[in-house]
Amino acid sequence: MKDALDIRFDFSLVLEKNLRSGEGLAAPRLRAALRRAEKAALAVARRHAAGEIGFPDLPFRETEARRISRDAARMRKRFTHMLVLGIGGSALGTKAVLEALGGEGARKGLAVTVADNVDPDVFFPVLRSLPMKKTVVVAVSKSGGTAETNSQLSMAIDALKKANGGAWKDRLILVTDPEKGIFRRMAREEGIAAYPVPANVGGRFSVLSPVGLLPLAAAGVSVGRLLSGARRMEALFRGRKPEENPVLFAAAVYAHYMMADPKPVHVWMTYGEGLERVAEWWQQLWGESLGKKRKDGTSVGQAPARAVGVTDQHSQVQLYQDGPADKVYTFVKWKEGKERGNVPRAAFAPDMSMLGGRPLRDLFEAEFEGTIGALWSAGRPIVRVEIGARDEEHIGAFLHFWEWVTAVVGECAGIDPFDQPGVEEGKKITRALMGEKGSSSRREEFLRKMRARTPAVIRVRKGG
Ligand code: PA5
């Protein structure tokens, strides 16, 4: 399947005709799966029309994107660095797009650092390394109630104050819920600039909102083109019949491998610089959206795993080939790369002479094809995606594609892909353990359970 965008989705290796291991979809099953996906997409569209979910609107918020681009241009004149604080959906999209577009130094913009871990051995060195007189801090939290981001924010404010005295406030920007939460209150009370995350857009679906757009624009990414790519995907999705619709086809296939022929693991194998971070973004989207309990108490979900080609061919592919048939595979690759260098002709032993004098890329491509071929011979179901260009339009379209696929698969599975009760529970326990006011009974209950557990601890000490 091809379009002006040039993203090629190849579902051949999930068809029963091509996959004689019994793992493939026969034509009637595929037709039924496509019908289910179509119905599920309509159900998601109804929730969208009712205002419950907002990610499909994000590509159309062009006025906001233009304003963000103008603000970012002003920031580029005033600062050299941007420190982004946030975690999960408030960080992974920004990291993914930056890396997909070539990482630091690929464009003229602020040097953007995304701090998404409170490991002190990571965070403090990052904070110390930044020139706080020339750094703008962007703290991103939809809820405002995430302990990690709140602690980072306090430390960053401290560093801003030390470097800039009273003038710290206009070096800080908050990105948060339009009405609620600690961050919004802080913005109002302290007069700190704040961008809204639409109330009906959750963290992992928010990369095309100010959550991602602000830092990306500051880094010099064309956020207008990111959105126009996503709009193209939206139009494709809305305009094509299921058999030619990449979103519905993919959703049908993945829903099949999640429910009808359950594969508990979904492996993304990426071929191309920068795609690993995109895989990380996808892991959150897939894992957190689809790993849920249904109303009847049964569980669904797929563990999202990532592997980097060709490196992990030599660490994971043995398992994929001969291990349990419990995985569905998605291979993701840039259609082309930039480097054109050859392997020298002379440097090879006679047995490896086929490598000499040829582009290194030929080997990379052969590894991609060969790995797919090997897994195919082992009867593994494989979806293959090739992204035509490493630019904003293609990345925007690709991310939006996965948001839709995830939403439709979630609906097929009978769960709500837009909530995250498990994550919220973890956040509450963390805050309680840190001594949050009003959470003492939760803390006591948790500690009581921990103390009552049957211990099985082995400690190894020097000399022991
Ligand atoms: O997808 C989600 O909702 C979560 O992973 C959040 O993005 C993450 O927990 C951070 O939450 P917040 O943006 O509220 O700080």
* pLDDT tens sequence across 248-283: 999 999 999 999 999 999 999 999 999 999 999 999
What distance in Å separates the CA atoms of residue 58 and residue 205, rounded to the nearest whole number? 9
CB of 334 within 8 A of CB of 384? Answer: no
CB of 79 within 8 A of CB of 132? Answer: no
Q: What is the mean pLDDT of the chain?
A: 95
Distance 430 CA to ligand 1 centre (A): 14
Task: Give residue 464's pLDDT band: very low, low, confident or very high (50, 70, 90).
Answer: low
50: left (phi over 0), alpha (psi -120 to 50) or beta: alpha
Could you say which of 288, 392, 403, 411 is catalytic? 288
Pocket test for ligand 1, best of 118, 143, 197 (most atoms within 8 A of CB): 143
Alpha helices in 256-359 (DSSP H): 275-290, 317-322
Task: Give residue 2's pLDDT band: very low, low, confident or very high (50, 70, 90).
Answer: very low
% of the chain residues with pLDDT over 90: 85
Per-residue pLDDT of 108-164, as tens digits, reads: 899 999 999 999 999 999 999 999 999 999 999 999 999 999 999 999 999 999 999
Task: Give residue 425's pLDDT band: very low, low, confident or very high (50, 70, 90).
Answer: confident
Q: Is 314 a catalytic residue?
A: yes
% of the chain residues with pLDDT over 70: 98
Domains of the chain: 7-47+227-412 (3.40.50.10490), 55-221 (3.40.50.10490), 421-452 (no CATH)
Pocket test for ligand 1, best of 281, 284, 423 (most atoms within 8 A of CB): 423
Q: Which atom, in ligand 1's list, is nearest to the CA of 91?
A: 7
Question: What pLDDT does residue 105 have?
Answer: 65
CA angle 199, 99, 9 (to 5 degrees): 80
Please give the full DSSP string across 417-460, using - where no structure is assigned. TT--HHHHHHHHHHHHHTT-TT-HHHHHHHHHHHHHSPP-----
Residue 235, both tokens: 């139009």
Lowest mean per-residue pLDDT among 18-27, 319-328, 344-353: 344-353
Pocket test for ligand 1, best of 146, 182, 197 (most atoms within 8 A of CB): 146
Question: What pLDDT does residue 104 have?
Answer: 67
- Answer yes or no: is the C-beta of 93 below 6 A from any ligand 1 atom: no
Nearest CA to ligand 1 atom 9: 88
- Residue whose C-alpha is closest to residue 211's, from 114, 75, 336, 295: 114
pLDDT higher than threshold 80 for residue 463: no
Distance 423 CA to ligand 1 centre (A): 8
Q: Name residue 304's beta-bridge partners.
A: 266
